[in-house]
Amino acid sequence: MMDKPPTEEKTREEVEAERKAKRAAKQERKKAALEKQKLDGLENQKKSKESSTESTLPIDSVKVSKPKPDVSKTAQKKQPTQKFETTKKVINVKSNKNKENIVVKNVEEIKPTAKSVNLVKKSTGPVTHKVKLFNHLYIDSISLLTENKLKINSGKVHPSFIKLGVQMRTSVVAGSNARCLAFLYALKQTISDFVTPEHKSFARSFEEHLGPAIDHLMACRPFSVSMNNAHKSIMWHVKRLPHNISDGHAKEALETVINNYIYVQIHMAGKAICIAAQNKIANGDVILTYGYSSLIERILTNAHSNNKQFSVIVVDSAPWYEGRQLLHRLVRNNIKCTYVLLSATSFIMTRATKVLLGAHALLANGYVMGRAGSSQIALVAKHFNVPVLVCCETYKFTERVQTDSIVFNELGDENDVMPKEQWLNNRYLTPLGLRYDVTTSDLITAVVTEIAILPCTSVPVVLRVRPN
């Protein structure tokens, strides 16, 4: 076996020089290819011009076959007609060739303009402002509005539901408890005005009558978990009504069911949560809360009325700034408050001793669905070892499982995020306003409910024990 000659190792400078030489060679090849393309294009243009000039040349001579002289008189009479026909053919040939020349010229003139028209179409096309990741959350508002108008004009939707739909769309009625209460009051009014058609049972006819009203509300704004649970509970009682019940007895029964639901599931549950949460508030505490929650407001005002000395830090965020409403109400009750934005959470968390948060819903896997920004508050509190208590009624518990805020969420109005003039005609800018986010169970210390102070993982047990 022959030994291989030892290979000389190249220095770093030589390697870099070789790389530079290769790059320069590549660039020269690209330039040469571009120049060839340009030359080919020019040659093609010249050829097309030459072909067009050849086609525009006039017809110098047209061979016309002269008729042979015949001895008969009939042939002599046909001769002038044949001459006339040949002259016609010559004129037609000339005119047709002229037309072809004109058509060729027009096509050459139109070709560049067609490209410009295509460019204009691309630039002036309808701009759709949608984030692809949340494409499933967008609703076709135009078609829904037309459907709602048809339902309203047909008289299928009760006026109380029409009013509630407008209030929900314009955020006059906001928050899980407020929306659920408004829905139940509208339902009570609809039940009182309902008349059962002849030869029909109350339960089936009322369910059919309520369908368009529910669709109208869903088109105005999607139902919250609290509204869904309340609707299911009431409809469960409606289906259990006997077939031969009169309208008066049915209305009385359903009104008592709705009143009991409001009293037990909302008012009494809130009162029990206030008592349980007040026991966790000590004198000198600095309580941090986020956004606005009617239950948190009730807890803090009751604790202050019981002569507990504490201060509150209200954290708020764009675009809705719901925390300002809580700030005004707490200051009106002479509670010492500090107002900061979400970006200053890590700075202000060092002063907080407890974090109280409201919730939109509690999911079956123990995750908490709250207004967008709640998960950031819980994450910062976990970093600073500050306990996080979520106050939530059990009627907001749901069997749905969710690990992120992408699959199921609600989109706010884009005009609240930024003015319409700034983004409407800009195809590279799409505002996105998510209403909720999901907080994992490991970031939450406990959930304060009317039953007890429970860990997040006990949600399935509550759902199994809860009636209906």
For residues 321 and 246, membership in a common domain is answered with no
Per-residue pLDDT of 213-237, as tens digits, reads: 998 899 889 999 999 999 999 999 9
Can you read off the two tokens belonging to residue 144?
A: 């829904």
List Cβ<8 Å contacts ≥24 apart for 406-414. Answer: 406/133, 406/134, 409/134, 409/137, 409/434, 409/435, 409/436, 410/137, 410/221, 410/222, 410/434, 410/435, 410/436, 411/134, 411/137, 411/138, 411/435, 412/319, 412/320, 414/129
Q: What was the pLDDT predicted at 40?
A: 80
Burial profile 295-319: b = 16 or more Cβ within 10 angstroms, e = fewer: bbbbbbbbbbeeeeebbbbbbbbee
Beta strands 446-448 and 453-454 are antiparallel
Say whether pLDDT at 331 is over 50. Answer: yes
Residue 361 within any structural domain of the chain: yes
| CATH number of the domain within which 162 lies | 1.20.120
Residue 351 lies in a domain: yes
Q: How much is the pLDDT for 468?
A: 56
CA 362/CA 397 separation, integer angstroms: 5
Q: Examine the domain organization and report whether 452 and 400 are in the same domain.
A: yes
- Grade residue 102 by pLDDT with cuts at 50, 70 and 90: very low
Answer yes or no: do 249 and 324 share one domain. no
Distance from C-alpha of 362 to C-alpha of 360, rounded to nearest angstrom: 7
Q: Using the predicted structure, report yes or no on whether residue 339 has a pLDDT greater than 90.
A: yes
pLDDT at 120 over 80: no
CA distance 215 to 408: 19
Q: In this structure, are 330 and 218 located in the same domain?
A: no
Number of domains in the chain: 2
Domain of 415? 281-465
Q: State whether 295 and 430 are in the same domain.
A: yes
> Coil, strand, or helix at residue 222?
coil
Same domain for 255 and 184, yes or no, is yes
From 268, 303, 332, the end of a domain falls on: 268
| Domain final position from 268, 298, 328 | 268
Write the CB contacts of 228 (distance below 8 Å, at least 6 apart in sequence): 398
User: Of 189, 182, 171, which is closest to residue 230 (Cα–Cα)?
Assistant: 182
pLDDT tens-digit series, residues 304-320: 999 999 999 999 999 99
Q: Would the pLDDT of 138 be above 60?
A: yes
For residue 105, pLDDT beyond 70: no
Q: What does pLDDT average to over the chain?
A: 82
Predicted confidence (pLDDT) per residue in 30-56, tens digit: 888 888 888 887 777 776 666 655 544
| pLDDT band at residue 84 using 50, 70 and 90 as cut-offs | very low
Determine the length of the chain: 468
DSSP 317: -
